[in-house]
A and B are shown apart, each in its own frame.
Chain A
């Protein structure tokens, strides 16, 4: 495994680290997008650990900061946010192609990174697959029933609710947040169908940390209907884990999941070391 740092992009405004296996397969490279505003190493260094594991198996990787995040600057172009995301990912694919020779790519995105991976995967034919972690999904009737019914029937829940009337609760304090409005469900569904029609392999992973909008593996079907049956779609629900995989064991489980999924859909013919 060998890692090299680059400044790249149309305006040389992007910063990233390319990881190359000892033997390059020239098949598929994996590109990591920022998880929210966390810089390219990922939450608790998830992207570093995962990219090195993939390098050891023979996959080239690139973890990079998108425009204005982490160490990357602004492109200076007048583009919409979505156009900039697509342009940044194109620059990233170009760099990884130059360094590794691979011409097809799998994107990895968590949270807003999943939304960005969705936009780029829909826009660029070189994207062959994507991991969407806590990405698109919306609240459904089933989600509300699963969320509220146990609470209505739980004595402990009522006891807590009543005691909270007397003692001030201590929920997480509200933090200022810059939130990007997600695409409407209908548009997401149509774009996913389009990607699957082009042959993309898509892996949807949801964590227990987003139970406020996704709380059961069945919910994927409630959200996206028959797309759930498509052979290019895999869905997992890690209900014990939090949104950013704070525990090492949870990160290892996710890494194992990613490695197995890559091996199934994009097998390496000449493993690295």
Chain B
């Protein structure tokens, strides 16, 4: 265990070494590796521990893993305002290439939660991904934008959080916890789920928010998981999402696809 953790490497990669990554090596078993695409904003912080646990579990099963942060998120270069959907997609392609280089070629699968799933699915062909496991992918970008706006408004008068309500505050350029760029709102409103036409699995939480209602295209590949992440709840912004059922389901699906 200790030796394995020691071998895990944090590093910066990509053009200009702007992206933060964490590589979890594994003794090669199937020649397949897994790229973990994080969600965005506060969801990324809430999922950090879960992604780490998933990476450990996969590496123990013989699947090397790369976790990474998009430009403008986590430890990567850039401010939150600079997070941009087009750049995010390019970062997935860069990360897939990095993973392929580190584990010596072979197949690459991806796992993504929320916008991380959308990003992986959107560039599946360009990044030469061989399969995607999506968890609560966004099926309605318009609904996601409404949800973030609603949460942001609710925060201003949240007396569980603030001693005094602050209804007069202009926080329209932010989504819960983060500044957002001018383009991002428009980019996400247009977001629709793409089916890459490859082996994909759709993991759905027990309670699903408006933005990630699964459509009929994914009904056949959908697996319901007993996890309640409360994506749209302002009381949960600081709560890490920890779920053994989700870890088990993701690991099982990825191993089957490997």
Q: Is the CB of B163 within 8 A of A3?
A: no
Query: Given that A44-B177, A247-B171 are contacting pairs, would A39 and B48 also be in contact in the complex, using a CB cutoff of 8 Å?
Result: yes
What is the bound-complex CA distance between A40 and B48, given in angstroms?
11
Q: Which residue of B lies closest to A45 (CB)?
A: B80
Measured CB to CB, the closest approach of chain A to B13, in angstroms, equals 10
Asked if residues B163 and A211 are in contact (CB atoms below 8 Å), the reply is yes
Interface residues as binary, A227-246 with B (CB distance below 8 Å gives 1, 0 otherwise): 00000000000011111101
A5-B11, A173-B235 known; A246 vs B161 contact (CB < 8 Å): yes
Q: Which residues of A contact B182 (CB under 8 A)?
A: none
Give the number of chain B interface residues (Cβ < 8 Å): 41
- Distance of A69 Cα from B64 Cα, bound (Å): 22
**Closest beta carbon of chain B to A70's beta carbon, Å:** 7
Q: Is the interface of A mostly helix, strand, loop or mixed?
A: loop
In the assembled complex, A43 has its CB within 8 A of some CB on chain B: yes
Determine the chain B residues whose CB is within 8 A of the CB of A11 once the complex forms.
2
Q: A44 near B45 (CB under 8 angstroms)? A: yes
Chain A residue with minimal CB distance to B80?
A45
Among the stretches A12-20, A22-30, A95-103, A129-137, the one at the interface with B is A12-20
Closest CB of chain A to B9's CB: distance in Å?
7
- Residue A49, interface by CB 8 Å: yes
A residues in contact (CB < 8 Å) with B = 3-7, 11-13, 15, 17, 36-41, 43-45, 48-49, 70-71, 73, 76, 171-173, 175, 208-209, 211, 215, 239-244, 246-249
Known pairs A44-B45, A45-B80; A242 contacts B171 (CB<8 A): no
- B52 at interface by CB-CB < 8 Å: yes
Chain B positions within 8 Å of A, measured between CB atoms, are 2, 5-6, 8-12, 20, 22, 42, 45, 48-49, 52, 73-75, 77, 79-80, 155, 160-164, 166, 169, 171, 173-174, 176-179, 235, 237-240
A71 contact from B52, B77, B176, Cβ within 8 A: B52
User: Which residues of chain A have C-beta atoms less than 8 A from B166's C-beta?
Assistant: 240
CB–CB A209/B10 < 8 A: no
Nearest chain B residue, comparing its CB with the CB of A7:
B10
On whether the beta carbons of A172 and B2 are closer than 8 Å, the reply is: no
